[in-house]
Chain A
């Protein structure tokens, strides 16, 4: 049931009350412009996705604790993640629009709504709020629509690309962990030809790659390899202009490499469902995966379930590899996963906007972050050595699932202030710390997408089909279905099907942004 909102615009007295409330919970949260223009909200309506099996019930302990910290009641409409896109559009088409909406990505549906005036342009407002002023301006820029920041982005790890290899196989064959793409090819070949599991049968292979469900430049293993080769990340700068990475000659080199890798990959690389990606690795068929650190951790966990005694010898993880040029080009993530947008239909005046922003500001305070990411201390976690140790009990697990949903509202735009999770044992902790170190090191060599902020009109309309041309051509080439000339012809087809228009639009926006 919808709770009727009562919103009142009060005089400075009310603003002072709000400040007082804020000071009780947070460290630094006084907005600079504490004038009479910030409206007070007793209830803030929010729409957010949830990823777990059920939505948090109304009046749950996590929500109540969070409400206390931010001084406002959060009325969250939880929507199943699998249907969030449709629900967003339905909501915008209707009249019952919440004050804050989680937007999962900068897709063209969102862009057209934003440019039609559905959401507030927050570019000039965020700097007034200490917790909303980001320490990653590049990511904020990337999350913007041609420079206009339509939402407070939800920060994610910037560097996730990693390579995981069967440690025991390396050991058996006397090989070192690959550091370059050449090493990778060598190891993959050895895993395929030299019987690393010692059973006398040629039943193993090197790299496991699934049928990639995304489009071009969506951090697939292929994208990683192509970035390592120096082709750029989706776009690259050349001669003062931006060009798509697949027009870079180094991209063709990367594809030749991928073609060489095919005999040492899983034979069903074109059809393996990404949901089953771990399986060949776990069953001892494939020995290398190029994906993210979270997959490495997932595999570790599953191996530990299979056999807690041996799993520590099974997986070795590293970050990005070095391509043939000798320079490390690391493939970053966009750095964010959607944002929190503020619809204009429900938040009508600047005064109300400032009210919402001040609440969101409090939601990004350390205390709020702890509640939304760790939970309730003593109830589902305890703190040891600055890390959060999960309590194992059915009640704690229930709380944990609720916390996971509230984490969807987290923005963390200037760093994570909550406790990092403690790992189960010393080995896991060591792996985790090593990961963090590699991540930090790789980030220094990250190749960011120079066109991340720009939204081309043609790409909005035809992007998916254009992407398919390239992605299909890539796979057909490395599988041998088409020749190099045909690959180049496909790239040409991309240009004539609307691609060259995309390039010119992107460059126009690029030029405008440089001024």
Chain B
């Protein structure tokens, strides 16, 4: 076949395949088509409603102060300005905070996810002695915590103040995530494990070579959860980092927002210079965009049929 013919054949073949599939799976019935249209419309509407406030914030972050003060709602600013972003980016603290946060988030996510998964796997083995006690302990820890000050004292006693590990370790394992991951491992088909054992793998080997690769959707999900939690965490840097040159993005951004929000009495402090109104909105955009970009990269792990290859192969 020539390339052209091959190309044409491929196209028409895949279209044909899709049509065949659609017929077999009964997507093409009238009810099916109506549902599809309705579904698409509904989900698009939902998507737009979800997007709208972010667009609102985005638009206002590019508007000059005078316009923001005078108009509460507009879809496109009368004057387009970067002044809000400038005042954020030109602050020397900003790039340092940004890089710090990216690094802490990256390393932190890996550490936290690793610790969680490592603990979840043994807990998924129902016969393991001591499992129930540990599970109860995890569940109780999920609903109750000692509080901000006692946790601070423990971290301090460990000598972790002014140490980036204090942003990662105190919240390293989230009980909720631990339980879900454990349940996931519990539901993996045991034939796979048997097969590995027949090949002479140890318990850890089964975990490393069988369970982990199969759990990509779960790993991706909780990598996202942990990364977002670290990224958004502003309590930990506040409590544990006294040195302002170590601060993360959230500390910086929260202060910027509060600085532009002060009531008039506070603004009367001698010499006070308020940042522009638009900064509040620019802050939201800057804090959110990196995480938004992260998700699509993880989505490919949510593809269907991850298990299929494993069983057949």
B268/A157 in contact, CB under 8 A: yes
Which of B12-20, B85-93, B164-172, B290-298 is found at the contact surface with chain A? B85-93
Beyond the given pairs A51-B262, A54-B252, 16 more chain A to chain B contacts, judged by CB atoms under 8 angstroms and listed by A's residue number, are: A53-B88, A53-B93, A53-B252, A54-B91, A77-B242, A81-B258, A81-B259, A86-B148, A160-B265, A276-B72, A298-B264, A302-B66, A373-B271, A403-B271, A407-B269, A407-B272
A279/B72 in contact, CB under 8 A: yes
A54/B93 in contact, CB under 8 A: yes
Per the bound structure, the CA–CA distance linking A291 and B271 in Å amounts to 20
Given A54-B255, A81-B255, the answer on whether A410 and B270 have CB atoms closer than 8 Å is: yes
Contacts of A375 in B (CB 8 A): 271
For the complex formed, measure the closest distance between the CB of A274 and the CB atoms of chain B, giving whole angstroms: 6
Q: Residue B239 at the A interface, CB < 8 A?
A: yes
Given A53-B87, A55-B244, A157-B268, the answer on whether A93 and B149 have CB atoms closer than 8 Å is: yes
Contacts of B268 in A (CB 8 A): 156-157, 160, 292, 294
Per the bound structure, the CA–CA distance linking A81 and B254 in Å amounts to 10
Name A82's closest neighbour in chain B (CB-CB).
B258
B69/A302 in contact, CB under 8 A: yes
> Dominant SS at the B interface?
helix
Size class of the contact patch on chain A: 35 or more
Q: Residue B261 at the A interface, CB < 8 A?
A: yes
B70/A279 in contact, CB under 8 A: yes
Q: Residue B238 at the A interface, CB < 8 A?
A: yes
Most chain B beta-carbon neighbours within 10 Å: one of A54, A78, A86, A403: A54
A294/B264 in contact, CB under 8 A: yes
Q: Residue B263 at the A interface, CB < 8 A?
A: yes
Contacts of A397 in B (CB 8 A): 273
Interface residues of B in 255-295 (CB under 8 A from A): 255-259, 261-273, 275, 279
A94/B243 in contact, CB under 8 A: no
Contacts of B70 in A (CB 8 A): 279, 282-283, 302, 306
B273/A400 in contact, CB under 8 A: yes
Q: Residue A144 at the B interface, CB < 8 A?
A: no
Chain B interface, number of residues (Cβ within 8 angstroms): 46
Per the bound structure, the CA–CA distance linking A305 and B276 in Å amounts to 12
Contacts of A192 in B (CB 8 A): none
Q: Residue B21 at the A interface, CB < 8 A?
A: no
For the complex formed, measure the closest distance between the CB of A267 and the CB atoms of chain B, giving whole angstroms: 15
A90/B269 in contact, CB under 8 A: no
A273-316 vs B, CB cutoff 8 Å, 1 = contact: the mask equals 01110110011000000011011001000100110000000000
For the complex formed, measure the closest distance between the CB of B286 and the CB atoms of chain A, giving whole angstroms: 13
Per the bound structure, the CA–CA distance linking A476 and B174 in Å amounts to 44
Q: Residue A401 at the B interface, CB < 8 A?
A: yes
Number of A-B contacts (CB under 8 A): 130
Contacts of B273 in A (CB 8 A): 52, 397, 400-401, 404
Q: Residue B210 at the A interface, CB < 8 A?
A: no
Q: Residue A264 at the B interface, CB < 8 A?
A: no
Q: Residue B251 at the A interface, CB < 8 A?
A: yes
A94/B152 in contact, CB under 8 A: yes
State which of A53, A94, A302 has its C-beta within 8 Å of the C-beta of B91.
Answer: A53
Per the bound structure, the CA–CA distance linking A375 and B270 in Å amounts to 11
List the 3 shortest-distance A-B pairs measured between CB atoms, nearest first: A82-B258, A80-B255, A294-B268
Interface residues of B in 69-105 (CB under 8 A from A): 69-72, 87-88, 91-93
A–B Cβ pairs within 8 angstroms, 22 of them:
A1-B243, A53-B88, A54-B244, A54-B252, A77-B242, A80-B254, A81-B259, A82-B257, A82-B258, A87-B238, A90-B148, A90-B149, A274-B263, A279-B69, A279-B70, A294-B268, A295-B264, A306-B70, A373-B271, A397-B273, A400-B271, A407-B269
Contacts of B261 in A (CB 8 A): 275
For the complex formed, measure the closest distance between the CB of B183 and the CB atoms of chain A, giving whole angstroms: 36
Q: Residue B33 at the A interface, CB < 8 A?
A: no
For the complex formed, measure the closest distance between the CB of B229 and the CB atoms of chain A, giving whole angstroms: 19
State which of A1, A55, A78 has its C-beta within 8 Å of the C-beta of B162.
Answer: A1
A420-459 vs B, CB cutoff 8 Å, 1 = contact: the mask equals 0000000000000000000000000000000000000000
Q: Residue A219 at the B interface, CB < 8 A?
A: yes
For the complex formed, measure the closest distance between the CB of A55 and the CB atoms of chain B, giving whole angstroms: 5
Per the bound structure, the CA–CA distance linking A259 and B275 in Å amounts to 37
Contacts of A78 in B (CB 8 A): 244
Q: Residue A41 at the B interface, CB < 8 A?
A: no
A298/B271 in contact, CB under 8 A: no
A69-111 vs B, CB cutoff 8 Å, 1 = contact: the mask equals 0000000011011110011011001110000000000000000
For the complex formed, measure the closest distance between the CB of B57 and the CB atoms of chain A, giving whole angstroms: 15
B259/A57 in contact, CB under 8 A: no
Contacts of B233 in A (CB 8 A): none
